A and B are shown apart, each in its own frame.
Chain A
Amino acid sequence: MPISYFHAAVLGLLQGVSELFPVSSLGHTVILPKLFGWDIHQSAPYFLTFLVALHLATALVLLGFFWQDWVRIVKGLGRSLRDREIGPEDADAKLGWLLVVGTIPAGLLGITLQDKLRTLFASPQYAAIFLALNGLLLYGAELLRRRAPVTADDDDVRIARTVSWRDTTLVGAAQALALIPGFSRSGASMGGGLLVGLSHKDAARFAFLLATPIIFAAALLKLPDLAGSQGNGVRGPALVGALCSALTAYLAVRFLMKYFETRTLLPFAIYCGVAGTAAAVYFAVS
């Protein structure tokens, strides 16, 4: 069997946490097997197919967690299409279109650059260096962030009032950094959210909403591989990994939405800086 059930469970638990924490799931999935000396061929088709199952589980958890928000957002999109305008007080419609506009650059960059970047930087050494740089990125976002004005009590109204069309394009494009193992999708979009004037809580909420369609679409597009010959021998471990990933993703999103009500990205910046540097030094000397 290409991946044991134990490895699948550990990688699943790790994926659920690291996909949503701003610490790069791809980076950890590349670095940790090398650190532990696991015999997993990370560029092999079966491993990529296995990762698809983990991503799908994470996306389903995000969708479920924000289900009521998504229902309101989709209704808002429908309302705006019917009225042929985004009503000045219709925060759901504005948020929905902000997510659509933000998803376009992320999707385009993902489709055109994904294979090239992953081939170039798929080694654990690169991933460790980029993880350290991800720490710098998070720290930089904290340093440069604007003070978030309190414009409304409702989360979505605040986001809709604060984020402009240009802002959402930039935040969406920033997600493409996550194509490089070591950089975090949620970290890039949360950092972008802070820079455009969102609070930590709103930046996290916007980042999770923005990430859901991208992770979901990427996983759905690759799902046929899991059913086809590339999935032979990994379907069982993929199911176990997906369940573990779903569990930790749920706990992670619950924790983070509470955490960012009062706290900042600094602990994650420190973790990424220290862990990335330590892993890079270890790989260099070993």
Chain B
Amino acid sequence: MRPVDRRLLAGIAVVLGIALIAVAIVYWAEPAKSLPSFFPGHTAGSNHHHTKHGIAAFLVGLACFAFAWFNTGPKKTRSASA
């Protein structure tokens, strides 16, 4: 993969990771009735907190950061490491 593509993908992953962690915080902080209507788990009149949805969003956000971490690391070649 070209270095520009790697940097672009890493940038997208970082933005996505931040967005997902923000989504996780919303899930933890707000009851189901107060979630934006396009969020999975939004239920009118429900005071239930979707903790598991928050954990899932948080972990996928971390996975995005991990992806970005690997893609921005120094590119090592087999010959260089041998």
Contacts and interface: CB of A to CB of B under 8 A. Distances in A.
Interface of A: 80-81, 83-88, 100-101, 104, 107-108, 111-112, 221
A221 B59 CA distance: 14
A104 B73 contact: no
Query: Which 7 pairs, one residue from A and one from B, show the smallest C-beta to C-beta distance?
Result: A84-B73, A111-B56, A111-B52, A85-B73, A108-B56, A112-B40, A107-B56
Greatest chain B CB density within 10 A among A81, A87, A111, A221 is at A111
A142 to B, nearest CB: 33
Residues of B contacting A: mostly: helix
Given A80-B70, A104-B63, 17 more contacts: A81-B66, A83-B73, A84-B70, A84-B72, A84-B74, A85-B73, A86-B70, A87-B81, A100-B63, A100-B66, A101-B63, A104-B59, A107-B56, A108-B60, A111-B53, A111-B56, A221-B51
B9 to A, nearest CB: 14
A42 B29 CA distance: 32
Interface in B48-82: 51-53, 55-56, 59-60, 63, 66, 69-70, 72-74, 76, 78, 81
Nearest to A87: B81
10 contacts: A81-B66, A84-B69, A84-B74, A85-B76, A100-B63, A104-B63, A107-B56, A111-B53, A111-B56, A112-B40
B69 A81 contact: yes
A135 B56 CA distance: 31
Contacts of B40: 112
Contacts, number: 35
Contacts of B76: 83, 85
A198 B53 CA distance: 33
Contacts of A101: 63
B24 to A, nearest CB: 12
Contacts of B59: 104, 107
Nearest to B56: A111
Contacts of A112: 40, 53
A196 to B, nearest CB: 21
A139 B29 CA distance: 46
B70 A85 contact: yes
A111 B60 CA distance: 13
A221 B55 contact: yes
B60 A104 contact: yes
A112 B70 CA distance: 29
B18 to A, nearest CB: 18
A91 to B, nearest CB: 16
Contacts of A108: 56, 60
B61 to A, nearest CB: 11
A104 B52 CA distance: 13
